[in-house]
Amino acid sequence: PVNKGPLIDRELFFGNPALASPQVSPDGRWVAFLKERNGILNIHLVGWGEPLDQARPATDEKERPPAGFTWTRDSRYLLVSQDSGGDENYRLRRMDLTAPADPATGLPITAEVPLKKGVRAMVMALPKARPGEALLLVNERDEKFFDVEKLEIETLKRTPVWENRAGCADIIADLDGQVRMASRMTADGGTELFRVDGKKLSAPILKATWREGIGGFRFRLGNRTAYLETNVGEEHDLSYLAEIDPRTGQLTKLESDPLGRVDISRAAFSEATDELVGTVYLDDRKRNYWRDEGFEKDFQHVRAQFSGQEVGLADMSGDDRKWVVVVTADTDPGTFYFFNRDDRTLTKFGETRPDLPKERLSSMTPIRYPSSDGLEIPAYLTLPEHREGKNLPLLVMPHGGPWARDYWGYNPNAQFFANRGLAVLQPNFRQSTGFGKKFYAAGRHQWGEKMQDDLTWGVKHLVAKGIADPKRVAIYGGSYGGYAALAGLAYTPEVYAAGASFVGPSNLFTLLNSIPPYWESVRRQFDYFVGNPSDPSDQERLQRQSPLFSVDKMRAP
């Protein structure tokens, strides 16, 4: 190995976590979370404040972990989502936590929501006003689009609520569970937002161009207006928090990044009052801004105990008084704590990877560099511990998506390779999300071209700094990152000595023609941002940008 320090076993990086995805019951009595059972992550339960070693199993999945789970409003049930063998046709089970356990298994009794084979069902909303009901999104009538149904949780009876005959991708209910708005992507890559009037849609109340977005909806108390996150308007580059009146379409800007650097990441709301309590921005590091004095004081009280680390609210009870707090860092995959706001007691729940030697992990540093056309690329650089930061072997590790981004924090791949002695570069190339619509739009039709330049110029930057050895550069990624690895080997063979692609598409025609029916809105996004394989004007470029057709240029393994 090229690292001078001891190697850490890969199982400690990539094995199942000891604890993941904790959710507090609305009544604050229980916490459901994922923990290993017979080699598979399964749902477990503990009482509030109980130690991890007192966890009781609630599921016994044999092949793959549950895809998701959520508490019902009355804290009586968990709704558990699971597919079959990874087919993504998610089915729902209701788990009764108040009834006697199944005598054969000792686990809570479950019942499945009846669905036809191949149909997907997902929880859309759990209205407070009707704790015995859930709103579901179901693609039974039309496999391409999801209708809204009401589920009576105790009887599992399904009732149609709203048929999505307009092909909307996002359907928004108010706090009482009434369907109020819906949005869909247009043929030119834009978005239209509609008011729902009974079974019909209004004329568009808000339009976004292909460079803009509309999302993150949540109705305000009283249901007259709703919060949303958008960057609509020529005067706006960064996404901001706004308020919209569905009756008129009037849009009011409420807040954008005080530093003017990044999009809003998310808004935080009180579970008790549904009021806005804070906002989060993911810059080089995470920044929190608070609008509620009580939340801010308690958050800062917890944060002060973890200098240099990032503190987040993983979940909270329905009265806001009990928090599950997660503390992370670039060298810490995360530790969860119970925090009781009434007496400010902070109790450790458990570490996600208690056996990982954090003192032997490597620091992650935000950097920036210019690409081929001068566009500034934000990135993260992880340098191996126990090595002088000069003339190092370099691994370029582009993220997947590509409509995603890397951020500061623990990354198991970066830490694994750094522990093996490699410097790791994670570039947020153009079309990464979170950096404004100009940065996003700069990647249209640029797979394998300008988006690839953003990686190549990162290598040049680190070579010029003396950090990277130009003869020992590799590239690795999954999904879009896997495509970028293949593109790097095919289009810039002089740059890379090796590459590895994990589920990366080599042929864009195959990728674009294999999008499943229920991804219809995503297909439109791919057509506009990547290319339409049926459009003659796109076909020559798509072939040029498919590494499969340039395999003869690859020289490295």
Identify the pLDDT of residue 386. 75
The helix (H) or strand (E) run that includes residue 15 is none
Bridge partners for 266 per DSSP = 280
Identify the pLDDT of residue 85. 75
- Cα 490 from Cα 259, distance rounded (Å): 40
Q: What is the pLDDT of residues 61-73, one digit of tens each?
A: 999 999 999 999 9
Domain that holds residue 233: 180-256
Identify the pLDDT of residue 6. 83
Q: What is the pLDDT of residues 224-233, one digit of tens each?
A: 999 999 999 9
- 393: in domain: yes
The conformation of residue 322, written as its DSSP 8-state character, comes to E
- 106: in domain: no
Identify the pLDDT of residue 189. 79
For 277, the token pair is 């309590």
Tell me the three state secondary structure of residue 48: coil
- 226: in domain: yes
pTM for the model = 0.92
**188-202, 402-416, 471-485, range with the lowest pLDDT:** 188-202
| Whether residues 370 and 510 fall in one domain | yes
- Cα 394 from Cα 421, distance rounded (Å): 9
- Whether the per-residue pLDDT at 188 is higher than 90: the answer is no
| Whether residues 245 and 382 fall in one domain | no
- Cα 206 from Cα 181, distance rounded (Å): 11
* Domain's final residue, options 211, 234, 256: 256
- Whether the per-residue pLDDT at 3 is higher than 60: the answer is no
- 138: in domain: no
Backbone angles phi, psi at 362, to 5 degrees: -110, 150
- 136: in domain: no
Nearest alpha carbon to residue 166 among 146, 188, 136, 189: 146
What lies within 8 Å, CB to CB, of 362 at 6+ separation is 330, 331, 382, 383, 384, 385, 414, 415, 418, 419
Backbone angles phi, psi at 439, to 5 degrees: -65, -40
For 438, the token pair is 């100009």
Identify the pLDDT of residue 516. 82
* Domain's final residue, options 256, 284, 311: 256
Q: Which CATH number do you get for residue 502? A: 3.40.50.1820
Identify the pLDDT of residue 353. 98
- 421: in domain: yes
Tell me the three state secondary structure of residue 543: helix
Q: What is the pLDDT of residues 488-514, one digit of tens each?
A: 999 999 999 999 999 999 999 999 999
Tell me the three state secondary structure of residue 140: coil
Mean per-residue pLDDT over the chain, rounded = 95
CA 319 to chain centre: 26
- 494: in domain: yes
Identify the pLDDT of residue 1. 45
Nearest alpha carbon to residue 556 among 487, 494, 505: 494
* Domain's final residue, options 199, 234, 256: 256
| Whether residues 371 and 250 fall in one domain | no
Structural domains of the chain, count = 2
- 372: in domain: yes
- Cβ-count burial of 4 within 10 angstroms (0-12 exposed, 13-18 middle, 19+ buried)? exposed
| Whether residues 385 and 510 fall in one domain | yes
| Whether residues 227 and 368 fall in one domain | no
